Amino acid sequence: MSWLTWRAHRGTLLIGTAFLVGLGMMYGGLAAVLRILYPDGDIGVCALVPAHDAPSQCSGSGFAQLVNSTAADVFSASELLGPIIPLVIGSFLAASITAQEFRSGTARWAITQGISRDRWLVGLVSTVLAFAAAGLVVFETGYLLWRSVLGLDVAGPIGPMTFGLGPVEMGAKVLLAIGIGLLMGTAVRSPAPAVALSSTAWIAAMTLIEQLGPYRSVFIVQIGVLTALSVLVFLGVRGLVARRTV
């Protein structure tokens, strides 16, 4: 079933994976350039400050200023990627592919050929998870390299800081987003409405987590809530697939 899902939706899967790979390459490439520009470890005090405020040891070349400006923009935008990456994977991969499976009749064909509903669902979920995981590995590699180069994990002029993009937290968010996408795709069975409802549900889930107040900054609490919600959503998907006609 995974091969059938790949054949039917390879364009969507590759675009979603390319999105994550592109972000990872951006972070990794920027980290490499910053390391070359500032081999003496002045990255943290040079890359994220305006040129007129930069210390004397910072390079004043036009290229260096361009890199510093780009690094500052990426730094500012990084916090936004925490909720956006799972939203893209859940809505534009899981929700749209699931809805298309029903609308095109692929799900009906598979089940009428003697394939169990659970087997069909496992094939769909494993395919989406595999491509999402492959893209996330590349993304996290570039992101963690960027963090280490800027010194965001140690005490200093900038760090420690977190953007909600670490491997464990991002993995938990993506799992929940995929579950929401599967649920909406199964319920609506039309790609565009499924994407819209999945995006809305994801925003609602993040808003709910924000209501945890000071507890949301506790890593284990946030991961626990994300995991619990994921389990409930996936159980809902399985129940919906088992009961609804194809």
Give pLDDT tens digits for 48-63. 655 555 555 565 556 6
Place of tokens 């006609």: 245
Rounded Cα–Cα distance for residues 220 and 231 (Å)? 16
Residue 156 reports pLDDT greater than 50? no
Determine the average pLDDT of the residues in 4-28. 90
In terms of residue numbers, what domain contains 33? 2-243
pLDDT-derived band at 19, boundaries 50, 70, 90: very high
The secondary structure of residue 115, as a DSSP letter, is -
Q: Which residue has the higher pLDDT, 167 or 156?
A: 167
Highest mean pLDDT among 18-27, 95-104, 156-165: 18-27
- Per-residue pLDDT reduced to its tens digit, 196-238: 999 999 999 988 887 776 666 677 888 888 999 999 999 999 9
pLDDT band at 155 (very low <50, low <70, confident <90, very high): very low
Rounded Cα–Cα distance for residues 145 and 31 (Å): 7
pLDDT, residue 246, reads 63
Q: Is 56 helix (H, G, I), strand (E, B) or coil?
A: coil
pTM of the model: 0.86
SS3 151: coil
Cα separation, 139 vs 26, in Å, equals: 9
> Distance between CA 49 and CA 47 in Å, rounded?
6
> For the chain, how many structural domains are there in total?
1
pLDDT tens digit string along 167-186? Answer: 888 999 999 999 999 999 99
